[in-house]
Amino acid sequence: MLNFSFKNATAIHFGEGQIKKVTREIPLTAKVLVIYGGGSIKSNGVYDQVVTALANHTWCEFSGIEPNPKYDTLIKAQTLIKNENIDYLLAVGGGSVVDGAKFIAAAALFEGDDPWDILAKQQPVKQALPLGAILTLPATGSESNGNSVVTRDGNKLGFSSPLVCPTFAVLDPSVTLSLSDRQISNGVVDAFIHVMEQYLNYSVNGKVQDRFSEGLLMTLIEEGPKALSENSKADISVRANIMWSATMALNGLIGAGVPQDWSTHMIGHELTGAYGIDHARTLSIVLPAVMKVCRAAKREKLLQYAERVWQITEGDENSRIDQAIALTESFFETMQVPTRLSQVDIGEDKIDGLIERLKQHGMIALGENKDITPEVSRKILMQAL
Ligand code: NZQ
Ligand code: ZN
């Protein structure tokens, strides 16, 4: 196992009716900015619960954060923060709203010239407003980590700082009942691939991390399709298992002390930045191609994945790996997400442009071995056609 330091600073309030815990999590003296997206929280009752929970607080709101949050939208919150002396942020929504709130929190106290430098120049975040989250879409783990991804002019860039890790997060699985099938699928697949990025690497004998990861993968394989099936889509226990899996997939626990890949995500971000494809749908296209192109480097873990996650014990090693990749693709198909670029109308003619974007963003040595050069990324994209 590799050396590591681990701390997760987010207090989790999990279960139905837990939004009321916000009342005591945010100091009564705070001036709160409630941040949300396009309005789903107004139609599913979450907004009303927030209003009740903040009945004795001083608060105002900032809405309109879009999926794949845009810098131009987020920066508008700064005027409100200054005018109202805001000193606490409450994000209510999916990963985009939580990520957006993190950038707003860091930008509010940024001392440099241009807050975009936090992303473009990776300028360190030295201070940030405190932030809490009410999660409405299980997927990104953003509610319990320090990561944020923001888009400006088609450039989708990330930053990370413990200072923007939410101090608390409310995870009420019943609020996910209003999600569309598309968003449920996206969430399950994103969480699955977060685990894979931290699991499908060279082995360092991290038994706890491996078995936690395998448990999460198996839970998502079991519960994901149930959340799409008419018979079980209203089952809160299905939603609860998905929600907790998605948080655990990217709250730092399974990634501590093991190598991490993230090439699928970095290539996927270029597909979203250039063509607006949903985050998870870029990942379901890229991951199977990464598994195929990086098969030699990932061989030992691919065999472990085949045996422990898919119970494949028959056949020689190569055929067990082939079966595991095929079953991964068929799981994605069951979850109704694409597994080929052609399914999202992207042909070979677009690959040069995507490689250029990777280079522009410095993504030239990706993967757990830092050996996914632009040429290897090209092979991955060709494989995904
Ligand atoms: O804007 P509203 O009206 O809230 O609607 C949203 C949005 O249209 C809707 N939605 C959310 N909760 C709902 C709901 N609709 C009905 N009922 C509910 N309960 O769903 C749509 C998509 O929301 P979004 O927040 O964009 O989805 P997701 O949670 O998948 O977040 C994706 C973003 O997170 C980033 C992605 O790159 C992308 O920008 N990621 C963040 C990570 C992190 N911070 O660690 C890691 C991830 O890998 C990822 O990169
Ligand atoms: Zn992701």
How far, in Å, CA of 195 to CA of 218, rounded? Answer: 11
In degrees and rounded to multiples of 5, residue 156 shows phi and psi of -100, 110
- Reduced to 3 states (helix: H, G, I; strand: E, B; else coil), residue 19 is helix
Pocket test for ligand 1, best of 34, 96, 119 (most atoms within 8 A of CB): 96
Decide whether any atom of ligand 1 lies within 6 Å of the 189 Cβ: no
Mean pLDDT rounded to a whole number for the chain: 97
* Burial (CB count <10 Å: 0-12, 13-18, 19+), residue 188: buried
The rounded Å distance from CA 83 to ligand 2 centre is 34
Ligand found nearest the CA of 190: 2
- 279-297 pLDDT tens trace: 999 999 999 999 999 999 9
- Portion of the chain with pLDDT greater than 70, in percent: 100
- 62-80 pLDDT tens trace: 999 999 999 999 999 999 9
Decide whether any atom of ligand 1 lies within 6 Å of the 67 Cβ: yes
Could you identify the atom of ligand 1 that is nearest to the CA of residue 151?
A: 39
Question: pLDDT band for position 83 (50/70/90)?
Answer: very high
Report pLDDT for 231.
96
Decide whether any atom of ligand 1 lies within 6 Å of the 37 Cβ: yes
Question: pLDDT band for position 204 (50/70/90)?
Answer: very high
List the structure tokens of 168.
Answer: 């608390």
Nearest Cα residue to atom 47 of ligand 1: 140
The DSSP secondary structure of 68-114, one letter per residue, reads S-BHHHHTTHHHHHHHTT--EEEEEESHHHHHHHHHHHHHHT--SS-
Quickly tell me which residue has 């407003």 as its tokens. Answer: 129
Quickly tell me which residue has 């400006």 as its tokens. Answer: 152
Could you identify the atom of ligand 1 that is nearest to the CA of residue 44?
A: 17
How far, in Å, CA of 147 to CA of 98, rounded? Answer: 10
Report pLDDT for 354.
98
Q: Does ipTM top 0.95?
A: yes
| Overall average pLDDT of the 30-44 stretch | 97
Question: pLDDT band for position 31 (50/70/90)?
Answer: very high
Closest CA to 216 of 244, 255, 256: 244
Closest CA to 88 of 38, 54, 129: 129
Report pLDDT for 147.
98
How far, in Å, CA of 38 to CA of 43, rounded? Answer: 11
Decide whether any atom of ligand 1 lies within 6 Å of the 102 Cβ: no
- 123-167 pLDDT tens trace: 999 999 999 999 999 999 999 999 999 999 989 999 999 999 999
CB 209 within 8 A of CB 254: yes
Report pLDDT for 242.
98
| Overall average pLDDT of the 107-118 stretch | 96
Decide whether any atom of ligand 1 lies within 6 Å of the 265 Cβ: yes
Within 8 A by CB and 6+ apart from 210, the residues are 199, 203, 258, 304
How far, in Å, CA of 210 to CA of 238, rounded? Answer: 23
Report pLDDT for 52.
98
Report pLDDT for 174.
98
Sequence-separated contacts (24+) of 116-125 with Cβ below 8 Å: 116/71, 116/152, 118/159, 119/71, 119/150, 119/152, 119/157, 119/158, 119/159, 120/155, 120/157, 122/159, 124/161, 125/159, 125/161, 125/163, 125/164
Query: Positive or negative, the Cα torsion across 293, 259, 141, 157?
Result: negative
Which amino acid appears at position 300 of this protein? E
Domains of the chain: 11-174 (3.40.50.1970), 180-383 (1.20.1090.10)
Decide whether any atom of ligand 1 lies within 6 Å of the 44 Cβ: yes
- Portion of the chain with pLDDT greater than 90, in percent: 99
- 232-257 pLDDT tens trace: 999 999 999 999 999 999 999 999 99
Report pLDDT for 243.
98
- 310-367 pLDDT tens trace: 999 999 999 999 999 999 999 999 999 999 999 999 999 999 999 999 999 999 999 9
Could you identify the atom of ligand 1 that is nearest to the CA of residue 67?
A: 26
- pTM here is 0.97
Decide whether any atom of ligand 1 lies within 6 Å of the 186 Cβ: yes
The rounded Å distance from CA 291 to ligand 1 centre is 26
